[in-house]
Chains A and B, each alone.
Chain A
Amino acid sequence: MRILLVEDDRLLGDGLKAGLTQAGYAVDWLRDGETAVAALSTEAFAAVVLDLGLPKRDGLSVLQWLRGRHDATPVLILTARDQLEDKVRGLDLGADDYVLKPFDLDEIAARLRALVRRAHGRPEPVLTLGEIELNPAARTVTRAGEAVELTPREFDLLHLLLQNAERVLTRRALEEQLYTWNDAVDSNALEVHIHHLRRKLGGELIRTVRGVGYMASATPSA
């Protein structure tokens, strides 16, 4: 799942990027408000982790801009200011959650999962399709109750497909959500991951929609 991290502090940004990558996210890290606005206006992210005190453009202003264009991407705000009015203002401007520095890496990861889940309108933490169950928090997948071993990239791909079950996802949308700018993407990497998923989970789960992309579906193709 691709996350945009906007944090001007080099040390904290570096740590968060590493930590969230460990937790299975694809993290793009920007250090000021203006480039964050530029990135958000052209690309899709599953969620934004936004620091408030940013150079060039303040975090709250980025948030306001984002909500101003009816972009519902979940936003988690990081702040060191514990004044209530700051918090209220952040939430009023459309922040989905709020974390006070210093925080726990696990807490950030958990809150991000909850935000993404809510954004997809699913209150329950576990994704189910047919006999497949995916637990984003534990990063585990079972097929008919049996645990299935997946690589992080395979897991993320399955996660995306299950989040958008019964809908066709284009190749480009999938790649955008899976890879950061720094990842060198092999032109047929996606096909390789799909192939592995089909081998591990059964051939019917993921359908190829020719010329468009892929779709996860509980009903086998006609």
Chain B
Amino acid sequence: MSTTTAYSLRRRLVWLLTSTVAAIWLLSVLVVYQRAHHEADELLDNQLTQVGETLLAIVAGGEVEHFVKELHEHARRYPVPIAFEIWHAEDGRTQRLVTSPGHAGFETTMAAGFSENPHQGERWRFYAVQDDDAEYRVVVGQAHAARERLAREIGLSLLLPAMLALPLMALAVWWVVSRALRPVDAVAQQVGALDAQALAPLDEAVPLPSEIVPLRTALNALIRRVAEAFDNERRFTADAAHELRTPLAALKVQAQVAMRAQADDSRQHALVQVIAGVDRMTHLVEQLLTLARVDPARQDIAPQSLDPAALIAEVCNEMRPQAQRQGQSLNVDAALGCTIAVAPAWLQIALRNLVDNALRYAGEGARIEVRLVPTASGCALSVADDGPGVVSELRTRLTARFVRGETEGEGCGLGLSIVARIAALSHARLKLDDGLPRADGGCGFAATLHFSHAPGRA
């Protein structure tokens, strides 16, 4: 199942899901951290304002002395994170009245309201306020670090459980993905268990997720096609064995008969049969080779735009002497001006096979007509005879390899297979019909190739 280039869908899913969730988590932690920072700012600014206003109220109320004493007492017990200083203005002189315990005075003089200034080497936030007649002035400040610490703590309290949960979540994702992928494993096992010798489609009754069903359907279609091709090949091999061994057996037997014959005429007869056998084997081998040559993979034989009339006349002239020897008439009626897309070599082979079939099977004295007529969609090339004909039930099987009609004629049963293959290669349609009428009221046999117009000429 795994090759060097294959990747695990499961690993990929787990990785993608886990990292996506982790990224979203991280993003939300960042947002929360920002919000926390903002909230902390607001909270602590409120605190600064409150402390400042309270201090101002206290000092303006004349409670300064008592307050300072209390403050120092208190500071020993609870360190206050807020520093302050109180200024008093009198007779145009301003003096620092009090600073919070543990603090020297602030380095800068600050305007009323919020400001940010350095203090003791750190960044601080200050709030300054004074009473209405500007007698007292209170400045409260807090290190910026306190705010960041607060925001960080809020952020961390969110991040930490997430960090701990991430491996757990990865495990959970792994488990869920494995479960979800189980049908894929099942199909893989079914495919793995397929027997190359007896290809059977996967059981379509086994329930599968709808995403995998198309895969199985496609696989089954492929399996059926392959099995059919396989069967065809097996049948072909069996048929070829029969078709090759029977003439070989005949040759051997006839040769043995010739060897043993006492009388000259029976030896002569057997030897004539041996030669006939060799001729038949030659024809069979030629046909087998032609069948193998009529191959869609052939690039060198390409269809071309062609007026087949001349080619038809040429093939028929070639075959006329044989027809005359058998007392048969071979007539050609080829209309000019039909243009079709076909490889001339294929057309020649197809026509030669059709005429050869007629010469072989139509019987002595038969009439054979080769016609080329224009049709609505292209043109039709037909070879018809007034021989014994072929019953319609058998006609459909005639294009199969090694299938012959039930006639006296001797052939190897490959001609129409070759023609059918050429028709498929040339996008033509092969039709097998009743042929010319016989004197006894019956009909001969006809094969017609329907070609479409060459592209651009239609």
Interface residues of A (CB under 8 A from B): 9-12, 14-16, 18-19, 22, 53, 55-56, 78-83, 100-106
**Is B66 interfacial (CB 8 A cutoff)?**
no
B254 CB within 8 Å of chain A:
yes
Considering only CB atoms, which chain A residue lies closest to B404 in the complex? A55
Q: Nearest CB to that of A99 among chain B residues?
A: B249
Cross-chain contact A19 with B250 (CB below 8 angstroms): no
At the interface, yes or no: B247 with Cβ under 8 Å from chain A? yes
Number of B interface residues in the complex (CB < 8 A): 28
Q: A11-B254, A14-B273 are in contact. Are A22 and B241 (CB under 8 A)?
A: no
- Jot down 7 A-B pairs with beta carbons below 8 A, ordered by A: A11-B273, A55-B406, A80-B241, A80-B242, A80-B245, A102-B252, A105-B252
**Residue B242 contacts which of A22, A81, A105 (CB distance < 8 angstroms)?**
A81
Interface membership of B266, Cβ < 8 A: yes
In the complex, whether B313 has a CB less than 8 A from a CB of chain A is no
The reply to whether A15 and B245 contact each other, CB–CB distance below 8 Å, is: no
Contact of A15 among B242, B244, B254, B280 (CB under 8 A): B254
CB contact between B260 and one of A10, A11, A22, A80 (< 8 Å): that residue:
A22
Report the bound CA distance from A105 to B257 in whole Å: 8
Q: B276 contacts A18, CB within 8 Å? A: no
B244 / chain A contacts, CB cutoff of 8 Å: 80
B444 lies within 8 A of chain A by Cβ: no
Other than A80-B241, A102-B252, give 4 A-B pairs with Cβ distance below 8 A. Answer: A19-B260, A56-B406, A81-B241, A101-B249
Q: A15 — which chain B residues lie within 8 A by C-beta?
A: 250, 253-254, 256-257, 270, 273
Q: Is the CB of A101 within 8 A of B280?
A: no
- Rounded to whole angstroms, the CA-CA distance of A87 and B183 in the bound complex is 44
| Contact A105–B253 (Cβ < 8 Å) | yes
Q: How far is the CA of A11 from the CA of B247 in the complex (A)?
A: 7
Q: Is the CB of B249 within 8 A of A12?
A: yes
Q: Contact check: which of A10, A82, A103 meets B249 at CB < 8 Å? A: A103
Most-contacted residue by chain A among B243, B245, B247, B261 (CB, 10 A): B245
- Is there a chain A Cβ closer than 8 Å to B191's Cβ? no
Contact yes or no, B248 A101, CB < 8 A: yes
Tell me which residues from 250 to 303 in chain B have a Cβ below 8 Å from any Cβ of chain A: 250-254, 256-257, 260-261, 266, 269-270, 273, 276-277, 280
Consensus secondary structure, chain B interface: helix
Instruction: Verify if B410 is at the interface (C-beta below 8 Å from A).
Output: yes
**Which of B247, B250, B280 has its CB near the most chain A CB atoms (within 10 A)?**
B250
By CB atoms of chain B within 10 A, which of A14, A15, A80, A104 has the most?
A: A15
> What's the minimum C-beta distance from B239 to chain A, rounded to whole angstroms?
9
Residues on the A chain within 8 Å of B242, using CB: 53, 79-81
User: Please, how many angstroms separate the alpha-carbon atoms of A103 and B255 in the complex?
Assistant: 12
Kindly name the residue among A81, A82, A83, A102 whose own CB sees the greatest number of chain B CB atoms within 10 A. A102
Inside 8 A of A105's CB, which chain B residues have their CB?
A: 252-253, 256-257
Say yes or no: is B246 at the interface (Cβ < 8 Å to chain A).
Answer: yes
Give the docked Cα–Cα distance between A16 and B249 (Å).
9
Report the minimum CB–CB distance from B403 to chain A (whole Å): 11
- Give chain A nearest CB distance to B221 CB in angstroms: 28
Q: Which residue from A11, A79, A83, A100 sits with its C-beta under 8 Å from B250?
A: A11
| Distance between Cα atoms of A100 and B251 in the complex (Å) | 15
Using a CB-CB cutoff of 8 Å, which residues 392-448 of chain B contact chain A?
Answer: 406, 410
B212: interface (CB < 8 Å): no
A18 and B246 within 8 A (CB): no
CB pair B253–A16 under 8 Å, yes or no, is yes
Is B238 in contact with A83, judged by CB distance below 8 angstroms?
yes
Contact B254 A102 (CB under 8 A): no
Which one, B243, B245, B266, B277, contacts A11 given CB within 8 A?
A: B277
Q: Which chain A residues border B256 with CB–CB below 8 Å? A: 15, 19, 104-106
Q: How far, in whole Å, are A18 and B260 apart by their CA atoms in the complex?
A: 10
